[in-house]
Structure 1
Amino acid sequence: MLSLLGDEWTLLIVQRALLGARRYGDFQAALPVSNAVLSGRLQSLTADGLLERSQYQSNPPRSEYLPTAKGRSLWPMLTSIWEWERRWVPEHAEPLPRMYHSACASAFQPVTTCRACGAPAGGKDVAAQWGPSGSWQRSIPSGSNRRRSSGRRSGAALLFPQTMSVVGDQWAFALLVAAFVGVRRFTDFQAQLGAPPATIAGRLSVFTDEGILVQDGARYQLTDKGLAFFPVLVCALTWAQRWFPSPEGPAVVLTHTACGRTFTPALDCDQCGKRLRAGQIIAVP
Structure 2
Amino acid sequence: MLGLLGDEWTLLVLQQALLGATRYADFMARLPISNSVLAQRLRTLCDDGLLQRREYQTNPPRSEYLVTPESRSLWPMLLSIWEWERRWVAEHAQPVPDLRHVACGEDFAPLTTCRACGGTASEKDVVAQWGPSGSWPRSVPTSTTRRRSGQAEAAGLFPHTMSVIGNRWGFALVVASFVGMSRFTDFQRQLGAPPGSIADRLSILIVNGVFDVAGKRYRLTAKGRALFPVVVTALQWAQRWFDAPEGPAVVVTHTACGGRFLAALTCDQCAQPLRGTQVLPAEISAKSFWHSRPESANIAGAQ
Given the superposition, is the C-alpha separation of residues 28 and 171 from structure 1 closer, same or farther in structure 2, using an over 3 Å criterion?
closer
Counterpart secondary structure, 2:270: coil
Equivalent residues in 2 for 1:198-209 (5 A)? 198-209=196-207
Find the counterpart in structure 2 of residue 155 from structure 1.
Answer: 153
Q: Write the deviation string for residues 50-86 of structure 1: whole angstroms up to 9, x where unpaired.
A: 1112334455544332211111111111111111122
Find the counterpart in structure 2 of residue 252 from structure 1.
Answer: 250
Equivalent residues in 2 for 1:74-89 (5 A)? 74-89=74-89
Pair 1:55 & 2:43 matched: no
TM-score by length of 1: 0.88
Contact 1:8 1:160 in 2 (8 A): no
Q: What runs of 5+ residues in structure 2 fail to find an aligned partner?
A: 284-303
Equivalent residues in 2 for 1:106-117 (5 A)? 106-117=106-117
Contact 1:101 1:269 in 2 (8 A): yes
- Bigger shift: residues 62-71 or 153-162: 153-162
Given the superposition, is the C-alpha separation of residues 54 and 237 from structure 1 closer, same or farther in structure 2, using an over 3 Å criterion?
same
Tell me how far 1:27 sits from its aligned partner.
3.5
Find the counterpart in structure 2 of residue 21 from structure 1.
Answer: 21
Distance 2:168 2:94 in 1: 27
Find the counterpart in structure 1 of residue 132 from structure 2.
Answer: 132
Equivalent residues in 2 for 1:35-74 (5 A)? 35-58=35-58, 61-74=61-74
Distance 1:194 1:69 in 2: 33
Counterpart secondary structure, 2:49: coil
Distance 1:9 1:200 in 2: 20
Distance 2:141 2:57 in 1: 42
Letter in 2 for 1:210: N
Contact 1:130 1:252 in 2 (8 A): yes
TM-score by length of 2: 0.84
Equivalent residues in 2 for 1:171-190 (5 A)? 171-190=169-188
- State percent identity of aligned pairs: 63
Distance 1:210 1:167 in 2: 11
Letter in 2 for 1:146: T
Tell me how far 1:94 sits from its aligned partner.
2.6
Letter in 2 for 1:123: E
Contact 2:8 2:167 in 1 (8 A): no
Q: How many residues are aligned here?
A: 283
Find the counterpart in structure 1 of residue 90 from structure 2.
Answer: 90
Distance 2:279 2:153 in 1: 25
Counterpart secondary structure, 2:274: coil
Counterpart secondary structure, 1:111: strand
| Root mean square deviation, CA, Å | 2.3
